[in-house]
Structure 1
Amino acid sequence: MDFIKTVSKDNTLKKLSEKEISDFRNHLQGTLLLAGKEGYDESRSVWNGMIDRKPALIVQCQNSADIQTALAFIRKHNFILSVKGGGHNVAGSAVCDGGLMIDFSKMKEISVDAESKKIKVEAGATWAELDTAAQKQGLAVPGGVVSTTGVAGLTLGGGIGWLRRKYGLACDNLISAEVITANGEKIIASEQQHADLFWAIKGGGSGFGVVSTFEFQAHPVGPEVFFSPVFYPATEAEQIIKSYREKSRSMPNEVSTFLIYGTVPAGEPFPDKWHNEDYILIASMYTGKVEEGEKVLKPYRELGQPIADFSGIMPYTNVQSFFDEDYPKQELHYYWKSIVAKELSDAAISMFIELGKNRPSPLTTVDIWQLGGAIDQVPHSQTAYPHRNAQHLIAIESNWEKHLPDQENIEWTKNAIRELLPFTEGSSYLNFEDAETEDVKRAQGSHHKKLQEIKNKYDPENIFN
Structure 2
Amino acid sequence: MTETVNQSFNGETLTPASPGYDAARTVFNGLVDRRPQRIMRCSSAADVAAAIASARADGLPLSVYGGGHGVTGSAVVDGGVCVDLRGLDGVAVDPEARIARVGGGATWGVVDAATQEHGLAVTGGRVSTTGVGGLSLGSGSGWLERAFGFVCDNLLAAEVVTADGRIVTASDTENPDLFWAIRGGGGNFGVVTEFTLHLHPLGPIVFGGMLLYPGFMAVDVLRNWRDFMRTAPDEVGSGVALITAPPEEFVPEPARGQPCVGVVIAYAGDPAAAPGVLAPLLEFGPPAANLCQPMPYVAVQQLLDPPNQKGMHNYWTGDFLTDFPDEAVAAWVEHGFPPVSPLTQLIVVAGGGAIARVSDDATAFGNRSAPFNLHMLGMWPPDPSQDQANIDHIRGLAAAMKPWTTGSVYLNFIGDEGLTRVESAYGPAKYARLREIKRAWDPENVFRHNQNIPPA
Q: Which residue of 2 aligns with 1:141?
A: 122
Q: Secondary structure at the match of 2:186?
A: coil
Q: Conserved in 2, the CA contact under 8 Å of 1:398 and 1:409? A: yes
What is the Cα deviation at residue 325 of structure 1? 0.7
How many Å separate the matches in 1 of 2:432 and 2:90? 35
What is the Cα deviation at residue 439 of structure 1? 3.1
The C-alpha deviation readout for 1:409-440, integer Å capped at 9, x for no partner, is 22322232222111111211111122432332
Q: Conserved in 2, the CA contact under 8 Å of 1:347 and 1:423? A: no
How many Å separate the matches in 2 of 1:434 and 1:236? 30
What is the Cα deviation at residue 106 of structure 1? 1.0
How many Å separate the matches in 1 of 2:378 and 2:342? 9
How many Å separate the matches in 2 of 1:173 and 1:292? 26
What is the Cα deviation at residue 394 of structure 1? 1.2
Greater Cα shift, 53-62 or 264-273: 264-273
Q: Which residue of 1 aligns with 2:451?
A: none
Matched, 1:300 2:281: yes
Q: Which residue of 1 aligns with 2:419?
A: 437
The C-alpha deviation readout for 1:345-389, integer Å capped at 9, x for no partner, is 122111111122142212112111001100011111000111111
Q: Secondary structure at the match of 2:29?
A: coil
Q: Which residue of 2 aligns with 1:384?
A: 364
Aligned partner of 1:205: which letter? G
Greater Cα shift, 179-188 or 39-48: 39-48
Aligned partner of 2:419: which letter? T
Q: Which residue of 2 aligns with 1:4?
A: none
How many Å separate the matches in 2 of 1:110 and 1:54? 30
Alignment length, in residue pairs?
439
2:331 to 335, 343, 351: 351
Q: Secondary structure at the match of 2:403?
A: helix
Matched, 1:211 2:192: yes
Q: Which residue of 1 aligns with 2:268?
A: 287
Q: Within 5 A, what are the aligned runs for 1:81-96? A: 81-96=62-77
How many Å separate the matches in 2 of 1:449 and 1:415? 32
How many Å separate the matches in 1 of 2:420 and 2:82? 24
How many Å separate the matches in 2 of 1:413 and 1:191? 40
2:432 to 408, 425, 449: 449
What is the Cα deviation at residue 286 of structure 1? 1.0
Q: Which residue of 2 aligns with 1:3?
A: none
2:388 to 403, 407, 421: 407
Aligned partner of 1:216: which letter? L
How many Å separate the matches in 1 of 2:403 and 2:338? 19
Matched, 1:459 2:439: no
2:9 to 28, 34, 51: 28
Q: Conserved in 2, the CA contact under 8 Å of 1:262 and 1:356? A: no
Q: Which residue of 1 aligns with 2:4?
A: none
Q: Which residue of 2 aligns with 1:7?
A: none
How many Å separate the matches in 1 of 2:28 and 2:294? 30
Tell me, which stretches of 5 or more residues in structure 1 are unaligned?
A: 1-25
What is the Cα deviation at residue 451 of structure 1? 1.4
What is the Cα deviation at residue 250 of structure 1? 2.4
Q: Secondary structure at the match of 2:334?
A: helix
How many Å separate the matches in 1 of 2:53 and 2:328? 50
Q: Conserved in 2, the CA contact under 8 Å of 1:121 and 1:213? A: yes
Aligned partner of 1:455: which letter? K
TM-score relative to the length of structure 2: 0.94
Q: Within 5 A, what are the aligned runs for 1:23-422? A: 27-330=8-311, 332-403=312-383, 404-422=385-403
- What RMSD over aligned residues (CA atoms) do the two structures have, in Å? 1.3
The C-alpha deviation readout for 1:280-317, integer Å capped at 9, x for no partner, is 11111111111111221121022212111111000000
How many Å separate the matches in 2 of 1:238 and 1:29? 57
Same amino acid, percent of matched pairs: 39
Q: Secondary structure at the match of 1:232?
A: strand
Q: Secondary structure at the match of 2:218?
A: helix
The C-alpha deviation readout for 1:195-229, integer Å capped at 9, x for no partner, is 11111111121111111110000111100000141
How many Å separate the matches in 2 of 1:422 and 1:343? 10
Q: Secondary structure at the match of 1:206?
A: helix
Tell me, which stretches of 5 or more residues in structure 2 are unaligned?
A: 1-6, 449-456
